[in-house]
Structure 1
Amino acid sequence: MSHGQDMNRRDFIKISSLFLAGSAAMSTQIGQTVTGSGNALAADGQERVVHSFCEHCFWRCGIAAHVRDGKIYKITGSEHHPLSNGRLCPRGTGGIGQIYDPDRLAHPLIREKKGGKTSYRKASWDEAITYTAERLYKIKEQYGPQAIAMLHHGYGYTFFKEMFKAFGVNKFAKPSYDFCCGPRHQGFIFTYGHSAGTPEGIDIENSKYILFFGTHYGENMHNTAVQEISEGIRRGLKIVVFDPRFSTLAGKAEKWLPIKAGTDIAMMQAIMNVLISEDLYDKQFVAENTVGFDELWAEVQQMTPEKAAEITDISADDIREIARNYASHAPAAAVHPGRRTQWYADGTQRVRAIAILNALVGNYKMPGGVVKYEKYKVPKAAHHEYPAFEKEVWSKYPLFTDIKPENTIASHEVMQQAISGEVKAMFVYGVNVPETITMGRKKALEALNNIDFLVAVDTLPMEVTGYADVVLPESTYLERYDDLDGGRPYRTPFVALRQPVVEPMFDSKPGNEIARMLAEKLELHGVFEESVEEYLDKRLKMAGSSLEEVKKTGVLKNPEPTDLYRKPGEPLTFKTPSGKIELASSKMKEAGFDAVPKFIQHPDAPEGYYRVLTGRKPMLTFGRTANNRFLNELPTARENEIWVNPEVAAKHQLSHGESIHLKNQAGVVSEFPIKVKVTQRIRQDAVYMVHGYGHYFKKLKWAHAKGASHNQLISNYEIDESIGAVGFQNNFVTFIKEA
């Protein structure tokens, strides 16, 4: 695309191998090391260890990067960081595969059109940044700042957000809010006045009995949580798992109940029914610390175990047994809030039901129950004075706004506004839009095709980079500083430092430097300190330490864990409108929604089709690990499979290990085949596949055409009208044999 030329319909174009790391004399660059900035390295032939934190999932565990002769040769868990405790999951140890990936983006790229042919060409950083600034400025001048939106994932987005806020842009969205963290965050806020937390505020290691609804510990590999549940099991923890699939966690459970997908709220209501009708709930705690009990009972009294059994396919006897066991172990008993919590349009109410089940047994701030972690107090650095926004931009959904420090709008709203023409420019940081947006690939591409200007900041040539007008190659998390990780509560409050282990390779740059360059081109002077080190040192000194000191271990933490438990007779207060736990939510009611969770019947699969359930593998999650050749060497990681019950396999004449294509209810056929896994571990009305496979960009050598893309098969999606989260589990598939 030539400078100044708009292209309302952009085609997917390939990034030439000439622009990737594999052709950039990689062997000569691997030995480069960080110098200066007070971080001189040991001489060649010697070893050193640099402490930082991981980027392969939102857990952000502490890492120890081992360097020899200027090259990282091993990554282990940092013993100093409370989220790793010296251990890492496979993704974390595989970080070397990202930094030394020969498919890495090596140079800034600009799309241009010559002689009717569109291609990318290599650009200098000054040219790419100047062009980006010019286009953003023109779009802002012509359409206003609300025509620009930023999508982000990963921790390096904070500097870009500061730059855009100084530019007058206030439209930020994180796709994971739509289907993962949004409902669990809001559902707990509406009930307790605070979030469930990350890590979740469940005292797992001291619990005696925990119920899990579709939570895949051991497969999503949230490091600390897996360590805690392992310790809990060692201490005698009993686990009950409600899941249509026999997951890894179900293999550790006292009882696995293959619940019918989409019926969780009915099951939770039935457990509440037993707790209340049999006087098993904590009457004193409920009377003193909750509001809305009568409204709750009016809703759940009709959901008897017998009625729930007809809905959920779980027997009334099992429901009563579990409810009674749960109450008998309380207050050292809990229902886990889970992670990916938006499956249909009722995700917020589903999480509210989980929160209410915890409240009924009085486990709040009790050993083994729900606890509230504290943050490490790190003062915020003084920020640039932002201009007054021409128009306040918040999501159209009435109860979205509790999340607004990080997001102002849902990511699917950004895509819809791109389709309608309201959003003209999109700045995408670490989001592989075609394979991430929960509206499905077709809608995502419609949005990308309709905008005037698209910038992609990434480390790899993901599908989204093939649609960008400008591609800006960011350094990996092992080559850069990011902002302090200090905003998350935990049992041991901490603040962690991400610091560079080696110099940025090729012509990549750290996100903080890219944001600073853009700010200067946009004449936003004074947004950032002279250096990122100066900014980090300023913040850490306000916390009583310094950058030089924290670089030694990568973390600053309280010497003693927080006292998590309430004292006998201690009065409790909650940041809800009533000051108490709201079994009936006043916020939901005022906004026109049900005050207590109601069960909504979801549609069954058409004849010959099966509901698609999704999950993860412990060694591969998110786009940052899809092309990791070290992780892909693991046999179970190379491609996804479609889990099929033996009776379903027999009906469709499918064999174990056979390659097939999937066709959804709208007639969309998977681009690539997927292998059949015939197993008793899945119900007959559902199939299961791991998300994140089936990449169609050939430059991703280890990810291209490996398995099928779940995102391609999303044609139906539903919106939670209270908070704007997106559910996509009302999609169904059948099988097409390759022959």
Structure 2
Amino acid sequence: MNHGHDLNRRDFLKISSLFLAGSAAISSQVGQALSSTNTAFAKDDREEVVHSFCEHCFWRCGIAAHVRNGKIYKITGSEHHPLSNGKLCPRGTGGIGQIYDPDRLAHPIIRERKGGKSSLRKASWDEAITYTAEKLYQIKEKYGPEAIAMLHHGYGYTFFKEMFKAFGVNKFAKPSYDFCCGPRLQGYTMTYGHGTGTPEGIDMMNSKYLLFFGTHYGENMHNTAVQEISEGIRRGLKIVVFDPRFSTLAGKAEKWLPIKPGTDIAMMQALMNVLISEELYDKKFVAENTVGFDELWAEIQHMTPEKAATITDIPADEIREIARTFASYAPAAAVHPGRRTQWYADGTQRVRAIAILNALTGNYKMPGGVVKYEKFKLPKPEAHPHPHFKKDVWSKYPFFVQTKPENSITSHEVVQQTLEKEVRAWFVYGVNVPETITLGRKTAIEAMQKLDFMVAVDTLPMEVTGYADIVLPECTYLERYDDLDGGRPYRTPFVSLRQPVVEPMFDSKPGNEIARMMAEKLELHGVFEDSVETYLDKRLNKVGSSLEEVKKTGVLVGEPTNLYRKPGEKLTFKTPSGKIELASAQLKSAGFDAVPKYIKHPEPPQGYYRILTGRKPMLTFGRTANNRFLNELPTARENEIWVNPRIAQKHALSHGEYVHLKNQAGIVSEFPIKVKVTERIREDSVYMVHGYGHYYKKLKWAYKKGASHNQLISKADIDQSTGAVGFQNNFVTFIKEA
């Protein structure tokens, strides 16, 4: 059996309980908090409500943390924050399980090598930071700053990024770009000249008809979107869901269409075909505001509903009916761009097809259609980059960045450059690499084995910390300040504050303090203010407020965005043509298809089934996997493998029994997974929730629970235009326990 994490040179080390918090230490720390003389937090019978924002997903909803006797006893949605409106999802309310997790990292840890063997030991912060600075300096001097890369996830990375920019490093990678937000951002930007935003720029609460392709609202939650969909339904919204699986959102839909996986573009082309051939599209809008109509029609004119039916398994009559109904409700109708958008190698063009479908209806900046949100006008902080800091994008993919880069390279390129010894050191913030990198667990571990040096900053002993040379324990989002969240557009622009609710427990520190300590050791003076409070106060002063003022509600809210265009308003778009690009000249000039083209994807081998993945509403992968409060929910304890009843019968599988999964390359899941026999999945596919099957024993509530999807990835399909990675051309069969 291939367990996928056998090691050679770099040992995977189990962090001893000496370095973890432990339940006794938890009690001790709470006791210390009660007796603390720091009057910044309530330590007696007084109750206090502290406003901040959540860390359990990228939505970053406003929270109200309720404190009694120096301990958080409840977390609710902030009524002041426009993304929460007084409501939270299960993950948000379960944040108490993260801060009071007995398995938390309690002290800095250093790996020592003697006589060819490795061991881990407790270290002081000064020793750990000094060692980190020395190693990074040595690698930079020997190989140059391009030999150092930072992998990050979560909002607290910003201070570390500023520190590294001052050090001359410019290889920053966010794994979620590769398979989630990257294709969506670039696809929309190449079509409209701007991204879709988070929350997405779809006026759902005022829409009459929405099409969704594989979007799992209600399971991946996204608080505000669920609220807006609910309000839309209350107002009469009709929903159509194209998905190989009957999702929670499909349960709210007027129609669920179990489309064949990998055929979305064919379906969208057929819908376009009907809109154009039956002259149902908005001719005036298209003529005035788009380019490339003739090229689009030349590509899609042959994708009739009849042809698409043979590809997608959706009847031609259904396709025609949906296209006609969609047009009848336009412009108060839209196709939602989705969240995780890279499934194969055509994610960018798939998102472009969605954007084009919307454009044909003339729904841009119209009630119920595609809208463009505005940002809160918060000036950017002063930067202190190294004099020789390179602003280059390191990615080889020509359309990796179409807007100002948050990152300069894809995470899978960091892995490849590490395997080739071009990258020698990783600084990993909040990324559980073996269970996150989309090239699969085996490749991720192989890359970590080749590193000269690796630092992991985290709150829990994830798999990645077992491979690190230095482990720096950051305190949780409920114990620290982070930078202001003011860079995201929304219908009500806002800037929100993350502030400590209680004092940091154990010997953990806020990321802003860790970054400041590293900057001083690297002699990068002046990068940070004397305190994070001073820095935040100066930023807020520029918009006529102050840290003291914003701490009261945790948010500043601006004037609502003017979402809709006025009659006769001339529209402009930040594209090369100044219009919506149905056909993209820049894609064509770079050797790619100007308009989205359907490409057939590989079929499963005989007896194998395509793996589809998703989330549960109480799970955000590494951030909640070990949350004992959320794991008390019966449906959260483990993932299941959804199997169609006819396939279950073929393999003699029973509902509730456990099996191992084997992929097309012979990789067998390390842990078994429970079978869920259900009509809610197509016969050619199986479905499992990502983020389970942890093999790190120190994660008491996550260890051996379910199977790891990442372990079963051995094939990756890369979009050559944007560098995004798809992994749904992986297939599995079943090995019965007996």
- TM-score range (shorter-chain normalised) is over 0.9
SS at match of 1:688: strand
SS at match of 1:401: coil
SS at match of 2:118: strand
Measured after TM superposition, the shift of residue 120 of structure 1 is 0.7
Q: How many Å separate the matches in 2 of 1:31 and 1:362?
A: 62
Contact 1:146–1:393 under 8 Å retained in 2: no
Alignment-derived partner of residue 376 in structure 1: 376
SS at match of 1:662: strand
SS at match of 1:402: coil
Letter of the structure 2 residue corresponding to residue 88 of structure 1 = L
Q: How many Å separate the matches in 2 of 1:526 and 1:34?
A: 36
Q: How many Å separate the matches in 1 of 2:281 and 2:718?
A: 33
Contact 2:587–2:594 under 8 Å retained in 1: yes
Measured after TM superposition, the shift of residue 380 of structure 1 is 1.4
Letter of the structure 2 residue corresponding to residue 599 of structure 1 = Y
Deviation string 1:539-573 (CA, Å, 9 cap, x unpaired) is 00001100000000000011x42110001101100
Measured after TM superposition, the shift of residue 38 of structure 1 is 10
Contact 1:8–1:450 under 8 Å retained in 2: no
Q: How many Å separate the matches in 2 of 1:96 and 1:394?
A: 39
Alignment-derived partner of residue 22 in structure 1: 22
Q: How many Å separate the matches in 2 of 1:137 and 1:511?
A: 20
Alignment-derived partner of residue 131 in structure 2: 131
Deviates more, 1:381-390 or 1:336-345: 381-390
Deviation string 1:653-698 (CA, Å, 9 cap, x unpaired) is 0000000000000000000000000000000000000000000000
Q: How many Å separate the matches in 2 of 1:338 and 1:419?
A: 33
Alignment-derived partner of residue 634 in structure 2: 635
Alignment-derived partner of residue 269 in structure 2: 269
Letter of the structure 2 residue corresponding to residue 495 of structure 1 = V
Q: How many Å separate the matches in 1 of 2:271 and 2:390?
A: 50
| TM-score after normalising by structure 2 | 0.98
Measured after TM superposition, the shift of residue 70 of structure 1 is 0.3
Alignment-derived partner of residue 505 in structure 1: 505
Q: How many Å separate the matches in 1 of 2:615 and 2:285?
A: 38
Letter of the structure 1 residue corresponding to residue 218 of structure 2 = G
Measured after TM superposition, the shift of residue 268 of structure 1 is 0.1
Alignment-derived partner of residue 316 in structure 1: 316
Alignment-derived partner of residue 3 in structure 1: none
Q: Where do residues 512-531 of structure 1 align in structure 2 (5 Å cutoff)?
A: 512-531=512-531
Alignment-derived partner of residue 73 in structure 1: 73
Alignment-derived partner of residue 426 in structure 1: 426
Deviates more, 1:202-211 or 1:35-44: 35-44
Question: Are residues 1:302 and 2:302 paired?
Answer: yes
Q: How many Å separate the matches in 1 of 2:627 and 2:89?
A: 14
Alignment-derived partner of residue 240 in structure 1: 240
Measured after TM superposition, the shift of residue 381 of structure 1 is 2.1
Letter of the structure 2 residue corresponding to residue 538 of structure 1 = K
Contact 1:34–1:41 under 8 Å retained in 2: no
SS at match of 1:200: coil
Alignment-derived partner of residue 644 in structure 2: 645
Alignment-derived partner of residue 595 in structure 1: 594
Letter of the structure 1 residue corresponding to residue 704 of structure 2 = A
Q: Where do residues 189-204 of structure 1 align in structure 2 (5 Å cutoff)?
A: 189-204=189-204
Q: Where do residues 164-563 of structure 1 align in structure 2 (5 Å cutoff)?
A: 164-389=164-389, 392-558=392-558, 560-563=559-562
Contact 2:168–2:385 under 8 Å retained in 1: no
Measured after TM superposition, the shift of residue 234 of structure 1 is 0.5
Contact 2:426–2:453 under 8 Å retained in 1: yes
Q: How many Å separate the matches in 2 of 1:675 and 1:153?
A: 30
Q: How many Å separate the matches in 2 of 1:380 and 1:437?
A: 31
Alignment-derived partner of residue 606 in structure 2: 607
Contact 2:41–2:501 under 8 Å retained in 1: no
CA RMSD of aligned residues (A): 1.5
Identity of aligned pairs, percent?
83
Q: How many Å separate the matches in 2 of 1:272 and 1:34?
A: 64
* Structure-2 change in CA distance of 1:568 and 1:731 (3 Å): same
Q: How many Å separate the matches in 1 of 2:209 and 2:336?
A: 10
Measured after TM superposition, the shift of residue 386 of structure 1 is 2.6
Q: How many Å separate the matches in 1 of 2:184 and 2:37?
A: 41
Deviation string 1:82-111 (CA, Å, 9 cap, x unpaired) is 000000000000000000000000000000
Stretches of 4+ moved more than 6 A in 1? 34-39
Contact 1:75–1:94 under 8 Å retained in 2: yes
Deviation string 1:105-133 (CA, Å, 9 cap, x unpaired) is 00000001235432110000000000000
Measured after TM superposition, the shift of residue 42 of structure 1 is 3.5
Deviation string 1:211-235 (CA, Å, 9 cap, x unpaired) is 0000001000000000000000000
Contact 2:162–2:527 under 8 Å retained in 1: yes
Deviation string 1:320-351 (CA, Å, 9 cap, x unpaired) is 00000000000000000000000000000000
Structure 2 gap ranges (5+): 1-6
Measured after TM superposition, the shift of residue 585 of structure 1 is 1.2
Aligned residues: 732
* Structure-2 change in CA distance of 1:578 and 1:390 (3 Å): closer
Contact 1:32–1:502 under 8 Å retained in 2: no
Q: How many Å separate the matches in 2 of 1:472 and 1:237?
A: 49
Q: How many Å separate the matches in 2 of 1:23 and 1:615?
A: 32
Deviates more, 1:393-402 or 1:503-512: 393-402
Q: Where do residues 36-51 of structure 1 align in structure 2 (5 Å cutoff)?
A: 40-51=40-51
Deviates more, 1:246-255 or 1:21-30: 21-30
SS at match of 1:162: helix
Contact 1:56–1:622 under 8 Å retained in 2: no
Q: How many Å separate the matches in 2 of 1:599 and 1:37?
A: 66
Q: Where do residues 80-95 of structure 1 align in structure 2 (5 Å cutoff)?
A: 80-95=80-95
Question: Are residues 1:670 and 2:665 paired?
Answer: no
Q: How many Å separate the matches in 1 of 2:492 and 2:37?
A: 30
Measured after TM superposition, the shift of residue 28 of structure 1 is 2.0
Q: How many Å separate the matches in 1 of 2:36 and 2:552?
A: 16
Q: How many Å separate the matches in 2 of 1:547 and 1:704?
A: 41
Alignment-derived partner of residue 4 in structure 1: none
SS at match of 2:629: helix
Q: How many Å separate the matches in 2 of 1:542 and 1:32?
A: 38
Q: How many Å separate the matches in 2 of 1:730 and 1:137?
A: 41
Q: How many Å separate the matches in 2 of 1:121 and 1:134?
A: 18
Contact 1:192–1:582 under 8 Å retained in 2: yes
| TM-score after normalising by structure 1 | 0.98
Structure 1 gap ranges (5+): 1-6
